[in-house]
Structure 1
């Protein structure tokens, strides 16, 4: 692990592009909040992080081209000069900030969409979801049943038909989950292993009730027989 920056388990494209760089991008664009959850017994130790997705900036909103640079406020380079970022850096930021790791290799992320989240999910977010998003198998059985019901009632557009239904249900109803990462050696190569698990404190009954309220079954009306005189 000597080739990796301390706490940042990825190889940066540039020495300045550390986790703090990507974190500042997401905060500046109002796309995520990151909270440190500290150990009450030892306030210097981070138990885990919360990653709260608040929104996405679209390619159209960015400007003429993805490589168009914006100035990063609140952070300067090692030499004290200004730092800049492109839309490519913005996309990378969602992934890179979650590559933080502690010395014990047991760090976890509490992930959730903000309650005010709205707007269109970009296509490039699929890559992030494949690495960090939950899978139905970790959900409790009643919530899995509700996912199948949600799938049967949701009306797809051309854009959102490319995404898994679980992504829409998770983002719309703020279903929390936990993401972790570790390493394994396979064929003499060091590979990242991503895993997710259920958050035991999540109350699912209000979620299930709200989904059935938002997507009720159609009312079947009895048609009276027509009699001819």
Structure 2
């Protein structure tokens, strides 16, 4: 635990690895995975081309997961705990988790 109640993970896929994702991984991906909006321009252009050519009819792996794992892309998932507003003065304040994803700026997306 840290003083700001903020935590983060740098998440990446290793290069030159053939991944076989288990079924539970899709749920993990939906929560911790990146979103298209964080991609810098070179990676976003590449993703648009990749997505237009991706055959999602013959696989259960979404295009974004295949793209990030195939090109060993990195991102940061962070979350912060905070207390929300109680609905009544005698009730405890609810604990809330705010999650964020962002591009890892030290990653060279031009490759």
Out of 145, 167, 170, the position equivalent to 2:65 is 167
Out of 28, 37, 49, the position equivalent to 1:128 is 28
8 Å Cα contact 2:11-2:76 kept in structure 1: yes
Out of 24, 27, 50, the position equivalent to 1:150 is 50
Task: Give the TM-score taking structure 2 as reference length.
Answer: 0.78
CA distance in 2, matches of 1:182, 1:193: 5
Paired residue total: 104
Q: CA deviation at 1:136?
A: 0.8
Select the structure of larger CA radius of gyration. Answer: 1
Q: 1:180 to 1:151 in 2, by over 3 A?
A: same
**Paired residue for 2:90?**
none
Query: How do 1:44-63 and structure 2 match up within 5 A?
Result: none
Q: 1:103 to 1:116 in 2, by over 3 A?
A: farther
**Paired residue for 2:97?**
192
Gaps of 5+ in 1: 1-6, 8-101, 207-229
CA distance in 2, matches of 1:177, 1:143: 12
Gaps of 5+ in 2: 88-92
CA distance in 2, matches of 1:191, 1:104: 14
Deviation per residue, 1:193-216 (Å, 9 max, x gap): 21111111111121xxxxxxxxxx
Runs (4+) off by over 4 Å? none
**Paired residue for 2:37?**
137
CA distance in 2, matches of 1:170, 1:125: 14
Query: How do 1:99-110 and structure 2 match up within 5 A?
Result: 102-110=2-10
CA distance in 1, matches of 2:108, 2:40: 11
